[in-house]
Amino acid sequence: MVRSLAYAAFAIAALAALTALVSGPGHRFGFWGYGFGFTLLRIAAWAGVAGALLSLGAGAWALRCGARRAMALSIAGIAAGALTFAVPWMQLQRARTVPPIHDITTDTRQPPEFVALLEIRRAAPNGAEYGGAQVAQAQQRGYPDIAPLRYAAPAAAAFERCLEAARALGWEIVAADPKTLRIEATDRTLFFGFRDDIVIRITPLGSASRVDVRSASRVGRSDLGANARRIREFFRQLARQRARG
Protein backbone atom coordinates (compact mmCIF):
# COMPACT_ATOMS: atom_id res chain seq x y z
CA MET A 1 0.00 0.00 0.00
CA VAL A 2 2.74 2.46 0.90
CA ARG A 3 4.55 1.69 -2.34
CA SER A 4 1.38 2.31 -4.34
CA LEU A 5 0.92 5.68 -2.67
CA ALA A 6 4.56 6.58 -3.32
CA TYR A 7 4.21 5.61 -6.99
CA ALA A 8 1.00 7.63 -7.38
CA ALA A 9 2.48 10.69 -5.68
CA PHE A 10 5.63 10.48 -7.78
CA ALA A 11 3.55 10.12 -10.96
CA ILE A 12 1.62 13.31 -10.13
CA ALA A 13 4.83 15.23 -9.41
CA ALA A 14 6.56 13.89 -12.53
CA LEU A 15 3.58 14.70 -14.75
CA ALA A 16 3.47 18.21 -13.28
CA ALA A 17 7.18 18.67 -14.02
CA LEU A 18 6.74 17.41 -17.59
CA THR A 19 3.79 19.76 -18.14
CA ALA A 20 5.85 22.70 -16.88
CA LEU A 21 8.76 21.74 -19.12
CA VAL A 22 6.63 21.70 -22.30
CA SER A 23 4.54 24.80 -21.49
CA GLY A 24 7.14 27.23 -22.86
CA PRO A 25 8.62 25.22 -25.77
CA GLY A 26 5.07 24.44 -26.95
CA HIS A 27 4.59 28.17 -27.56
CA ARG A 28 8.12 28.61 -28.89
CA PHE A 29 7.54 26.04 -31.62
CA GLY A 30 4.01 27.17 -32.46
CA PHE A 31 1.90 24.41 -30.94
CA TRP A 32 -0.15 26.80 -28.79
CA GLY A 33 -0.48 30.44 -27.81
CA TYR A 34 1.37 32.00 -24.90
CA GLY A 35 -1.87 32.31 -22.89
CA PHE A 36 -2.37 28.56 -23.00
CA GLY A 37 1.29 28.07 -22.16
CA PHE A 38 0.92 30.22 -19.03
CA THR A 39 -2.21 28.27 -18.07
CA LEU A 40 -0.30 25.00 -18.37
CA LEU A 41 2.47 26.44 -16.20
CA ARG A 42 0.02 27.48 -13.47
CA ILE A 43 -1.67 24.08 -13.49
CA ALA A 44 1.71 22.36 -13.36
CA ALA A 45 2.83 24.49 -10.41
CA TRP A 46 -0.17 23.57 -8.26
CA ALA A 47 -0.04 19.95 -9.38
CA GLY A 48 3.59 20.01 -8.28
CA VAL A 49 2.51 21.17 -4.82
CA ALA A 50 -0.01 18.32 -4.65
CA GLY A 51 2.59 15.79 -5.78
CA ALA A 52 5.15 17.06 -3.28
CA LEU A 53 2.69 16.95 -0.36
CA LEU A 54 1.51 13.45 -1.25
CA SER A 55 5.13 12.36 -1.60
CA LEU A 56 5.89 13.85 1.79
CA GLY A 57 3.07 11.84 3.33
CA ALA A 58 4.16 8.68 1.52
CA GLY A 59 7.74 9.27 2.64
CA ALA A 60 6.74 9.56 6.28
CA TRP A 61 4.76 6.34 5.99
CA ALA A 62 7.64 4.58 4.19
CA LEU A 63 10.06 5.70 6.90
CA ARG A 64 7.90 4.14 9.58
CA CYS A 65 7.55 0.92 7.58
CA GLY A 66 11.18 0.75 6.52
CA ALA A 67 10.18 0.62 2.83
CA ARG A 68 13.34 1.86 1.13
CA ARG A 69 12.08 1.86 -2.46
CA ALA A 70 8.96 3.78 -1.49
CA MET A 71 11.15 6.19 0.47
CA ALA A 72 13.36 6.81 -2.57
CA LEU A 73 10.31 7.43 -4.77
CA SER A 74 8.91 9.82 -2.19
CA ILE A 75 12.13 11.84 -2.07
CA ALA A 76 12.13 12.06 -5.87
CA GLY A 77 8.48 13.14 -5.84
CA ILE A 78 9.12 15.83 -3.25
CA ALA A 79 12.04 17.19 -5.29
CA ALA A 80 10.15 17.15 -8.61
CA GLY A 81 7.02 18.72 -7.16
CA ALA A 82 8.89 21.38 -5.21
CA LEU A 83 10.98 22.42 -8.21
CA THR A 84 7.92 22.54 -10.45
CA PHE A 85 6.31 25.01 -8.08
CA ALA A 86 9.45 26.93 -7.12
CA VAL A 87 10.54 28.03 -10.59
CA PRO A 88 7.31 29.88 -11.61
CA TRP A 89 6.96 31.14 -8.03
CA MET A 90 10.41 32.75 -8.25
CA GLN A 91 9.44 34.29 -11.58
CA LEU A 92 6.34 35.74 -9.95
CA GLN A 93 8.47 37.22 -7.16
CA ARG A 94 10.80 38.73 -9.75
CA ALA A 95 7.81 40.28 -11.53
CA ARG A 96 6.91 42.05 -8.30
CA THR A 97 10.37 43.62 -8.01
CA VAL A 98 10.51 45.19 -11.48
CA PRO A 99 8.25 47.82 -13.08
CA PRO A 100 5.37 46.40 -15.18
CA ILE A 101 6.75 47.74 -18.46
CA HIS A 102 8.06 46.10 -21.61
CA ASP A 103 9.83 48.89 -23.55
CA ILE A 104 13.27 49.90 -22.24
CA THR A 105 15.52 52.53 -23.79
CA THR A 106 18.66 54.45 -22.91
CA ASP A 107 16.99 57.61 -24.27
CA THR A 108 13.51 58.10 -22.85
CA ARG A 109 13.14 61.57 -24.37
CA GLN A 110 13.84 60.54 -27.97
CA PRO A 111 13.82 56.74 -28.05
CA PRO A 112 15.40 55.12 -31.12
CA GLU A 113 12.57 54.44 -33.56
CA PHE A 114 11.72 51.22 -35.36
CA VAL A 115 11.98 51.50 -39.13
CA ALA A 116 12.67 48.09 -40.68
CA LEU A 117 10.59 46.46 -37.93
CA LEU A 118 7.89 49.13 -37.90
CA GLU A 119 5.14 47.11 -39.62
CA ILE A 120 5.84 44.04 -37.48
CA ARG A 121 5.70 46.19 -34.36
CA ARG A 122 2.45 47.83 -35.44
CA ALA A 123 0.86 44.41 -35.91
CA ALA A 124 2.07 43.18 -32.51
CA PRO A 125 -0.07 43.61 -29.36
CA ASN A 126 2.41 46.07 -27.80
CA GLY A 127 2.68 48.25 -30.89
CA ALA A 128 5.54 50.45 -32.05
CA GLU A 129 4.96 53.68 -30.12
CA TYR A 130 6.86 54.44 -26.93
CA GLY A 131 4.68 54.77 -23.82
CA GLY A 132 5.77 58.29 -22.92
CA ALA A 133 6.48 59.95 -19.59
CA GLN A 134 4.75 57.34 -17.45
CA VAL A 135 6.89 54.53 -18.87
CA ALA A 136 10.01 56.70 -18.64
CA GLN A 137 9.38 57.41 -14.96
CA ALA A 138 8.76 53.72 -14.22
CA GLN A 139 12.00 52.82 -15.99
CA GLN A 140 13.96 55.42 -14.04
CA ARG A 141 12.66 54.01 -10.78
CA GLY A 142 13.26 50.40 -11.73
CA TYR A 143 16.39 50.62 -13.87
CA PRO A 144 18.28 53.83 -13.04
CA ASP A 145 21.48 52.37 -14.56
CA ILE A 146 20.05 52.19 -18.09
CA ALA A 147 21.65 55.17 -19.80
CA PRO A 148 23.42 56.08 -23.07
CA LEU A 149 26.93 54.77 -23.54
CA ARG A 150 29.75 57.10 -24.54
CA TYR A 151 32.00 55.03 -26.78
CA ALA A 152 35.58 56.16 -27.33
CA ALA A 153 35.67 55.64 -31.09
CA PRO A 154 34.38 57.48 -34.16
CA ALA A 155 30.82 56.71 -35.23
CA ALA A 156 31.76 54.41 -38.13
CA ALA A 157 33.98 52.28 -35.89
CA ALA A 158 31.36 52.28 -33.13
CA PHE A 159 28.75 51.09 -35.63
CA GLU A 160 30.91 48.12 -36.64
CA ARG A 161 31.61 47.22 -33.01
CA CYS A 162 27.90 47.40 -32.17
CA LEU A 163 27.08 45.16 -35.11
CA GLU A 164 29.72 42.67 -33.98
CA ALA A 165 28.34 42.71 -30.44
CA ALA A 166 24.76 42.12 -31.61
CA ARG A 167 25.86 39.15 -33.70
CA ALA A 168 27.99 37.77 -30.87
CA LEU A 169 24.90 37.76 -28.64
CA GLY A 170 23.00 35.72 -31.22
CA TRP A 171 20.56 38.45 -32.24
CA GLU A 172 18.90 38.19 -35.64
CA ILE A 173 20.01 41.26 -37.57
CA VAL A 174 17.08 42.73 -39.50
CA ALA A 175 18.75 45.93 -40.75
CA ALA A 176 22.18 47.50 -40.46
CA ASP A 177 22.65 50.87 -42.16
CA PRO A 178 26.11 52.45 -41.80
CA LYS A 179 24.82 55.68 -43.39
CA THR A 180 22.16 56.33 -40.77
CA LEU A 181 24.20 54.52 -38.07
CA ARG A 182 21.23 52.36 -37.08
CA ILE A 183 20.91 48.64 -36.40
CA GLU A 184 17.66 46.75 -35.88
CA ALA A 185 17.49 43.19 -34.60
CA THR A 186 15.30 40.66 -32.87
CA ASP A 187 16.03 38.32 -29.99
CA ARG A 188 14.03 35.47 -28.45
CA THR A 189 13.55 34.65 -24.80
CA LEU A 190 14.88 31.25 -23.86
CA PHE A 191 11.88 29.35 -22.50
CA PHE A 192 8.75 30.72 -24.17
CA GLY A 193 10.59 32.07 -27.22
CA PHE A 194 8.96 35.50 -27.09
CA ARG A 195 10.34 37.80 -29.79
CA ASP A 196 11.72 41.12 -28.59
CA ASP A 197 12.89 43.86 -30.94
CA ILE A 198 16.02 46.00 -30.60
CA VAL A 199 17.15 49.29 -32.12
CA ILE A 200 20.74 50.54 -31.78
CA ARG A 201 21.43 54.16 -32.67
CA ILE A 202 24.92 55.65 -32.89
CA THR A 203 25.37 59.42 -32.69
CA PRO A 204 28.72 61.07 -33.59
CA LEU A 205 30.37 63.06 -30.78
CA GLY A 206 33.50 64.33 -32.48
CA SER A 207 36.13 61.62 -32.12
CA ALA A 208 33.77 59.62 -29.88
CA SER A 209 30.22 58.31 -30.20
CA ARG A 210 27.04 57.98 -28.22
CA VAL A 211 25.32 54.60 -28.32
CA ASP A 212 21.61 54.37 -27.54
CA VAL A 213 19.70 51.09 -27.37
CA ARG A 214 16.00 50.33 -27.21
CA SER A 215 14.68 46.84 -26.48
CA ALA A 216 10.93 46.18 -26.54
CA SER A 217 8.74 43.11 -26.19
CA ARG A 218 6.05 42.39 -28.76
CA VAL A 219 3.61 40.91 -26.21
CA GLY A 220 3.05 41.11 -22.49
CA ARG A 221 2.58 43.98 -20.06
CA SER A 222 5.72 43.18 -18.04
CA ASP A 223 8.94 41.75 -19.43
CA LEU A 224 10.21 40.57 -16.00
CA GLY A 225 13.30 42.71 -16.54
CA ALA A 226 14.36 40.90 -19.74
CA ASN A 227 14.84 44.02 -21.88
CA ALA A 228 16.94 45.83 -19.28
CA ARG A 229 19.12 42.73 -18.90
CA ARG A 230 19.53 42.57 -22.67
CA ILE A 231 20.75 46.16 -22.87
CA ARG A 232 23.18 45.60 -20.00
CA GLU A 233 24.52 42.45 -21.66
CA PHE A 234 24.97 44.32 -24.94
CA PHE A 235 27.06 47.00 -23.23
CA ARG A 236 29.08 44.32 -21.45
CA GLN A 237 29.71 42.64 -24.79
CA LEU A 238 30.98 45.93 -26.22
CA ALA A 239 33.29 46.27 -23.23
CA ARG A 240 34.60 42.73 -23.74
CA GLN A 241 35.30 43.42 -27.39
CA ARG A 242 37.13 46.63 -26.55
CA ALA A 243 39.22 44.82 -23.93
CA ARG A 244 40.26 42.28 -26.56
CA GLY A 245 41.26 45.10 -28.86
CA distance 98 to 234: 20
**What are the pLDDT digits (tens) for 39-97?**
999 999 999 999 999 999 998 888 888 788 888 999 999 999 999 999 999 988 888 89
55 and 114 co-located in one domain: no
Identify the pLDDT of residue 217. Answer: 98
Domain containing 20 equals: 2-97
Complete DSSP assignment for 128-174: SS---HHHHHHHHHH-TT---EEESS-HHHHHHHHHHHHHHTT-EEE
147 and 56 co-located in one domain: no
Identify the pLDDT of residue 36. Answer: 96
**What are the pLDDT digits (tens) for 81-95?**
999 999 999 988 888
Model pTM score? 0.88
pLDDT band at 12; cut points 50, 70, 90: very high
202 and 142 co-located in one domain: yes
**What are the pLDDT digits (tens) for 151-197?**
999 999 999 999 999 999 999 999 999 999 999 999 999 899 999 99
What is the percent of the chain with per-residue pLDDT over 90, rounded to a whole number?
86
139 and 174 co-located in one domain: yes
Identity of the residue numbered 77: G
130 and 212 co-located in one domain: yes
65 and 132 co-located in one domain: no
CA distance 155 to 173: 19
121 and 85 co-located in one domain: no
- Note whether 84 and 16 are within 8 A (CB): yes
Task: Report how many domains make up the chain.
Answer: 2
61 and 128 co-located in one domain: no
- Note whether 174 and 139 are within 8 A (CB): no
pLDDT band at 245; cut points 50, 70, 90: low
Please say which residue of 97, 131, 166 terminates a domain.
97
137 and 71 co-located in one domain: no
Q: Mean pLDDT across the chain, nearest whole number?
A: 94
**What are the pLDDT digits (tens) for 113-139?**
999 999 999 999 999 999 999 999 999
80 and 147 co-located in one domain: no
- Domain harbouring 156, CATH code: 3.30.530.50
CA distance 103 to 71: 49
9 and 88 co-located in one domain: yes
111 and 228 co-located in one domain: yes
Please say which residue of 50, 72, 97 terminates a domain.
97
